[in-house]
Homo-oligomer: A and B are copies of this chain.
Amino acid sequence: MDAMEAILSRRSIRKYTKEPVSESMVQEILAAAMSAPSAGNEQPWHFVIVNDRKILDEIPKVHPYAQSVKSASVAVVVCGDLKLEVYKDFWVQDCSAAAENMLIAVQAKGLGAVWLGLHPITERVKGVQKLLKLPEHVIPLAVIPIGHPDEHKPPANRFDTSRIHHNSW
Contact = CB atoms under 8 A, between A and B. Distances in A.
Copy tally for this chain in the complex stands at: 2
Given A90-B117, A117-B39, A48 B165 contact: yes
Contacts of A152: none
Contact-residue bracket for chain A: 35 or more
B164 A132 contact: no
A49 B92 CA distance: 24
Interface of A: 1-8, 10, 12, 27-28, 30-32, 34-37, 39, 43, 45-52, 55, 87-90, 92-93, 96-97, 99-101, 103-105, 107-108, 114-115, 117, 120, 132-135, 138, 141-142, 155-156, 158-160, 163-169
